[in-house]
Amino acid sequence: MAKIALENWNETIRDPKIECMSRDEMSALQGERLVKQVKNVYEHVEFYRKKMDGLGVEPGDIKGIEDITKLPFTTKEDLRDNYPFGLLAVPKEKIARVQGTSGTTGKLTLASYTQNDVDVWGECVARGLTMAGLNSSDRIHVCYGYGLFTGGMGLDLGAQALGAMAIPMSSGNTKRQLMCMEDFGATAFACTPSYALYLAEAAQEAGVVDRLQIRASINGAEPWTDEMRKKIEDILHINSFDIYGLCEITGPGVAMDCIHHKGLHVYEDYFYPEILNPADQSACGDGETGELVFTTLAKEGMPLLRYRTKDLTSMEHSICECGRTLPRIQKFTGRTDDMKVIRGVNVFPTQVETALLSMGGGVAPHYMLIVDRENNLDVLTVMVEVDEKYFSDEIRKLDSLKNKVGAVLKQALGVSVRVKLVEPKTIQRSEGKAKRVIDNREL
């Protein structure tokens, strides 16, 4: 299909009332929802009641959105401490779905949704799909993974809300992906940007690009650049869009970029964004980089107040050329912690340590993670020190140790790794904050 040039683009807005709302009206709507939400969590979530009591804040102190700064923060550690259902604001019977993502240690970060939450999620993704120029007649090939990961389900729900056809391919098996894409006449596809580029190149190599009806791709869940987007667009002759989300807040569909690619529009009627100075949590002005923090204004199942994403970015409130007044967050410049996104999966170095320790010998819990991008796919190499006691001059024994480490790490991280055994005592010991990750991906 032909890529649509900006000057020929016909912008459609799914919910103009919300997406183009004036700042005053939006603030009023957000304030109204926040007041209600704070009262709700104070009454139904012990964790928040205690936190607010600790800060001396009562629901009555929250009168509008500007009062949000009085509220306590929520961290990923809080989710872990209250795993799996400790932060529910409704009885468990009302939960219609759970989704999960990796936590900082062995446990998952679990998010719970009521049916309304699921509907809101689908609606937000549908707004994004509309932003990508799609409508109910489109056929959306979803090659994000399905399962606890929010990618597959999120795009599926979005396609459903839009009234489009969902093609639930899930990830992997590129040849089959291309075959179905062609046979079913998919008009859009969704996956991580690195896989999108991989697919694009595979389509080019197989000479099937001209037989595809794809006109747009929706890609997110890992960092990518404008150059990468242009490459995907050029190979497939399509328009590509960046989608953002995190499981804790809802999944993909928290924010999405429009054809102007001037940042990702945040659906702030549901997910209120703040950018805070990492040093003192004071508010950053437009254009200033800080930590992105979200409050779920209307979530029922597991509402979160001021959830610290640890992603660093800046925000703009100026009206976008597309007509939307929704603020735009820029691509992330980094994180306040050492989490890495590998093929869409969140990986924390501490998970590696926990997994190595769980092996009970063979390797020392000293490691180094190296992230590369080979043929457009992320490759995670874990360098592990062999325990001197387990050292052998037999390659068979070392290889079996290596395979065992690989299996344990794959299970713990949810992503396959390359294990490289190294000599004992050759990896830097942690003195304070040792560098455990080398990211060679050029982004």
Residues near another protein (CB under 8 A): 386, 388, 391-396, 398-399, 402, 420-426
Q: Give whichever of 25 and 423 is closer to another protein, judged by the CB atom.
A: 423
In terms of Cβ atoms closer than 10 Å to its own Cβ (0-12, 13-18, 19+), residue 17 is exposed
| Minimum CB distance to another protein, residue 428 (Å) | 14
Q: Give whichever of 298 and 421 is closer to another protein, judged by the CB atom.
A: 421
- In the chain, the N- to C-terminal Cα span, in Å, equals 28
Q: Give whichever of 97 and 418 is closer to another protein, judged by the CB atom.
A: 418
| Minimum CB distance to another protein, residue 356 (Å) | 18
Q: How far is CA 148 from CA 116, 162, 350, in A?
A: 19, 22, 21
Q: Which two tokens stand for residue 177?
A: 């992906």
Q: Give whichever of 85 and 391 is closer to another protein, judged by the CB atom.
A: 391
| Minimum CB distance to another protein, residue 430 (Å) | 19
d(CA 177, CA 200): 11
| Minimum CB distance to another protein, residue 426 (Å) | 7
| Minimum CB distance to another protein, residue 422 (Å) | 6
| Minimum CB distance to another protein, residue 402 (Å) | 8
Q: Give whichever of 47 and 390 is closer to another protein, judged by the CB atom.
A: 390
Q: Which two tokens stand for residue 269?
A: 């009627």
Q: Which two tokens stand for residue 254?
A: 């928290």
d(CA 256, CA 241): 7
| Minimum CB distance to another protein, residue 166 (Å) | 41
| Minimum CB distance to another protein, residue 381 (Å) | 10
Instruction: Give the sheet arrangement for strand 251-257, strand by strand.
Output: 165-168, 139-142, 188-191, 216-220, 239-246, 251-257, 264-266, 328-329, 315-316
d(CA 151, CA 156): 9
CB atoms within 10 A of CB 23: 11
d(CA 174, CA 255): 28
d(CA 294, CA 266): 10
d(CA 72, CA 68): 9
Q: Which two tokens stand for residue 113?
A: 């949704």
Q: Give whichever of 236 and 417 is closer to another protein, judged by the CB atom.
A: 417
Residue 109 makes CB contacts below 8 A (sequence gap 6+) with 76, 79, 80, 83, 100, 101, 102, 103, 247, 248
| Minimum CB distance to another protein, residue 398 (Å) | 8
Q: Give whichever of 98 and 421 is closer to another protein, judged by the CB atom.
A: 421
| Minimum CB distance to another protein, residue 172 (Å) | 24
Host H or E run for residue 25? helix 23-44
Angle at 101 between CA 171 and CA 255, to 5 degrees: 80
Q: Give whichever of 227 and 393 is closer to another protein, judged by the CB atom.
A: 393
Q: Give whichever of 208 and 427 is closer to another protein, judged by the CB atom.
A: 427
Q: Which two tokens stand for residue 438?
A: 């080398």
Amino acid at 201: E
Rg (CA), the chain: 23
| Minimum CB distance to another protein, residue 393 (Å) | 3
**DSSP secondary structure letter of residue 74:** B
Q: Give whichever of 340 and 402 is closer to another protein, judged by the CB atom.
A: 402
Q: Is 87 helix (H, G, I), strand (E, B) or coil?
A: coil
Closest CA to 305 of 92, 87, 154: 87
Q: Give whichever of 165 and 421 is closer to another protein, judged by the CB atom.
A: 421
Q: Give whichever of 210 and 394 is closer to another protein, judged by the CB atom.
A: 394
| Minimum CB distance to another protein, residue 420 (Å) | 5
Q: Count of residues for the chain?
A: 443
